[in-house]
Amino acid sequence: MFRSLTSALALFAATTALADPLPSWSATDTKSQILAFVETVTNPASDDYVTPSDRIAVFDNDGTLWGEQPVYFQFIFAIDRLKTMSEADPSILSTDVLKAAAAGDMETVLAGGHDALFEILDATHSGMNVDVFQQEVAEWLDAKQHPDTGLHYDQMTYQPMVELLRYLRDEGFKTYIVSGGGIHFMRVFAEEAYGIPPEQVLGTYTNTEYAIVDGEPVISKAPGIAFVDDKEGKPINIERTIGRRPIFAGGNSDGDFAMLEWTTAGKGARFGLLVHHTDGDREYANDRESPIGRLVDGLDKGPGMGWTIVDMKQDWQRIYTDQN
């Protein structure tokens, strides 16, 4: 097909240079800023060149890489699981919050704030082998659809962000999730949905126990949440687990503020990105008043810290990866 390896390589290089790595992003300043940053840190002649091993990029998941309305998808899973569990054994609904959740009374649940969410998560995410839990998550993803879009939840990844993850990896970055969501939940779909392997998924985690059961070692999810990967927990988890400061951080809510602050305060070129949910027609419009994905500090202080605010309505030509 090609007369020589050299001409094949030259054509490949030209094709690569001409192809748009972010086709679902509109031709706005946001896109230009991302491209300019990546070109700078990967250019060996640049003062801001970064060696590949230090090209660490971290991303929140809910509201940043996939949807999070009307409520975190993992929480919808938890409610579904609570209903199934309580049909088998009604006595597990031992508190008002659990009774309200199983009855679908979300007003009471949300009024309980994060404590209520964690109570429901704890009741539904413990007492089983990790493998069994992940099998249940996989079956739930296959079976259920989102109430508004009719899509499976793992079809509701944001296509522009999936492209951004791939582009960064193509440019030598290592991409991580750093999310308030649970590690065992996210690892079920993160590799297929985002190309992010289990060891690069950081998040909230329950206690786990190691024991020999019927002669086989088993790791099971135990009651109690061992670590909450939100707010200051995010840079703490990054430092503890990755051990280097990222040069790129993306989020969408004030739960991501500390992660972006830690990332962009480092020396040299850094990129802080906040996804602002401005598209009430194609997705959801929310920021300052939303109980899920509340964004106040990021909008007020982010631009002054050099962060890029993604305006979903203006900057994204497409929203979900698997929409029609």
262 makes contact with its own copies (CB under 8 A): yes
Is 5 one of the binding residues for its own copies (CB under 8 A)?
A: yes
Give the separation between CA 125 and CA 224, rounded to whole angstroms: 9
**Least distance CB 210 / its own copies (angstroms):** 4
Q: Is 8 in the site for its own copies (CB under 8 A)?
A: no
Q: Any contact of residue 256 with its own copies (CB under 8 A)?
A: no
- Residue from 93, 183, 273, 312 touching its own copies (CB under 8 A): that is 183
Listed ranges 22-30, 40-48, 230-238, 296-304: which one lies at the site for its own copies (CB under 8 A): 230-238
Exactly one of 243, 289, 304, 324 binds its own copies (CB under 8 A); which one? 243
Number of residues that bind its own copies (CB under 8 A): 30
Q: Which stretch binds its own copies (CB under 8 A): 30-38, 140-148, 254-262, 285-293?
A: 254-262
Closest to 251 in 3D by CA, of 226, 234, 238: 234
- Asked if 94 touches its own copies (CB under 8 A), the answer is no
The pair of structure tokens assigned to 308 is: 């890029």
The H or E element that residue 227 is part of is strand 216-227
257-264 helix and 233-241 helix, angle to the nearest 10 degrees:
50
**What does the alpha-carbon distance between residue 107 and residue 126 come to, in Å, rounded to a whole number?**
25
Are 206 and 222 in contact by the 8 Å Cβ rule? The answer is: yes
Which window, 11-19, 78-86, 239-247, 272-280, contacts its own copies (CB under 8 A)? 239-247
Residue from the set 256, 261, 283, 315 that interacts with its own copies by CB under 8 A: 261
Q: What value, to the nearest 5°, has the Cα angle with vertex 76 and ends 71 and 77?
A: 145
Residue span binding its own copies (CB under 8 A) among the ranges 15-23, 40-48, 211-219, 268-276: 211-219
Residue of 239, 300, 301, 306 interacting with its own copies (CB under 8 A): 239
DSSP codes of every residue in 125-155: S-SEEHHHHHHHHHHHHHH---TTT-S-GGG
Q: How far is the CB of 184 from its own copies (least distance, A)?
A: 8
Task: Give the integer Cα–Cα distance in Å for 288 and 252.
Answer: 12
Question: Whose Cβ is closer to its own copies: residue 43's or residue 241's?
Answer: 241
Contact 98, 216 (CB under 8 A): no
Cβ proximity to its own copies, 111 vs 265, nearer residue: 265
Of 272, 270, 268, give the one whose Cα is nearest residue 48.
Answer: 268
**Distance between CA atoms of residues 155 and 194, nearest Å:** 11
Residue 225 lies near its own copies (rule: CB under 8 A)? no
Residues 153, 254: contact at Cβ < 8 Å? Answer: no
In angstroms, the CA 206 to CA 184 distance is 9
Under rule CB under 8 A, residue 210 binds its own copies? yes
User: What is the rounded distance in angstroms from the CA atom of residue 117 to the CA atom of residue 112?
Assistant: 8
**Which residue lies nearer to its own copies by CB, 40 or 134?**
134
Give yes or no for residue 53 binding its own copies (CB under 8 A).
yes
**Which position among 209, 280, 300, 323 is part of the footprint of its own copies (CB under 8 A)?**
209
Q: Which residues bind its own copies (CB under 8 A)?
A: 5, 53, 130, 174, 183, 187, 197-199, 201, 205, 208-210, 216-217, 219, 232, 235-236, 239-244, 258, 261-262, 265
